[in-house]
């Protein structure tokens, strides 16, 4: 960390952030503050270069045209790539997985070069995946089922440098027939789960925070309301 305040980058909320994905940054800030850390959200918009100095970054989902604007900006200002290379955790939701990959095809079949941070490619599938998704995590440090809401047409294929975040037990996930959901590569974690994902999956929030702080474990935060919401979602 640069100083005692943990700085959370909310990347391009002006174009990427469907279904309240900006809430992921709020969850990170709140879980830090409840543990006594100072934390702030730094919004990086299309008017700003992308800084490489923040402690953790989150990116939300987007429609095709907004996704394209975000891709252009992140390629032009490579602060996110530099921060990830230094180990800063990056959470990428839905369209952000596609943007951070090598390339993606839009729903009209146009191929757009991505940022190239993760070894994935995305192409539209015949049917749109819409609905609740539940998965079993494959990433060490995560034990609880992950839940979220997915809405995407793109199907994402993982290359050899990327691994799946989780195995789908309900819903579609990456949507290319391998049964996987999300992606992990280096300090980047991607998922198709909206919700916002970190409100629904506090264990994932704390894994990202522990990495941002460079600690092994964080003190637990017993929040019965969050657990109740999770139980309801998993039962539904």
Three-state DSSP state, 34:
helix
Decide whether 70 or 212 has the Cβ nearer to ligand GLN.
70
80-119 positions binding ligand GLN, by CB under 6 A: 94-95
Residue 169 contacts ligand GLN per CB under 6 A: no
Residue 175 contacts ligand GLN per CB under 6 A: no
Contact window for ligand GLN (CB under 6 A) among 84-92, 150-158, 209-217, 219-227: 150-158
List CB contacts of 194: < 8 A, sequence separation 6 or more: 18, 19, 20, 21, 61, 93, 94, 148, 149, 150, 151
Contact window for ligand GLN (CB under 6 A) among 50-58, 73-81, 152-160, 199-207: 152-160
Decide whether 67 or 187 has the Cβ nearer to ligand GLN.
67
Three-state DSSP state, 65:
helix
Contact window for ligand GLN (CB under 6 A) among 26-34, 49-57, 148-156, 202-210: 148-156
Sign of CA dihedral 36, 40, 41, 44: negative
Look up 194 and say whether it is catalytic: yes
We find the least distance from the C-beta atom of residue 37 to ligand GLN, in angstroms, to be: 30
* Contact status, residue 5 vs residue 38, Cβ threshold 8 Å: yes
Residue 153 contacts ligand GLN per CB under 6 A: yes
Decide whether 94 or 212 has the Cβ nearer to ligand GLN.
94
Is 230 known to sit in a ligand binding site? no
Residue 151 contacts ligand GLN per CB under 6 A: yes
Give the integer Cα–Cα distance in Å for 152 and 174. 9
Sign of CA dihedral 129, 138, 54, 206: positive
Helix, strand, coil percentages in the chain from 3-state DSSP, rounded to 5: 30, 30, 40
Q: Which of 155, 178, 158, 154 lies closest to 168, judged by CA? A: 178
Interface with ligand GLN by CB under 6 A: which residues? 18, 61-64, 67, 94-95, 151-154
Residues belonging to the active site: 94, 194
């Amino acid at each position: 960390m640069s100083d005692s305040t943990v700085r959370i980058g909310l990347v391009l909320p002006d174009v990427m952030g469907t279904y309240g994905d900006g809430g992921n940054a709020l969850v990170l800030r709140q879980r830090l503050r409840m543990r006594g850390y100072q934390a702030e959200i730094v919004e990086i918009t299309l008017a700003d270069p992308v800084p490489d100095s923040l402690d953790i970054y989150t990116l939300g989902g987007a429609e095709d045209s907004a996704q394209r604007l975000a891709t252009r900006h992140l390629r032009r200002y490579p602060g996110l790539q530099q921060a990830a290379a230094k180990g800063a955790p990056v959470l990428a939701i839905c369209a952000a997985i596609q943007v951070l990959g090598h390339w993606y095809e839009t729903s009209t079949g146009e191929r757009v070069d991505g940022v190239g941070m993760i070894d994935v490619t995305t192409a539209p599938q015949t049917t749109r995946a819409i609905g609740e998704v539940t998965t079993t995590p494959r990433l060490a440090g995560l034990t609880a089922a992950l839940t979220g809401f997915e809405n995407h047409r793109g199907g994402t294929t993982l290359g050899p440098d990327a691994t799946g975040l989780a195995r789908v037990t309900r819903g579609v996930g990456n949507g290319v027939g391998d049964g996987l959901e999300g992606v992990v590569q280096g300090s980047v974690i991607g998922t198709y789960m909206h919700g916002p994902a970190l409100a629904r999956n506090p264990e994932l929030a704390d894994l990202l925070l522990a990495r941002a702080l460079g600690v092994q474990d964080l003190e637990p935060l017993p929040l019965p309301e969050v657990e109740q919401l999770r139980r309801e979602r998993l039962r539904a």
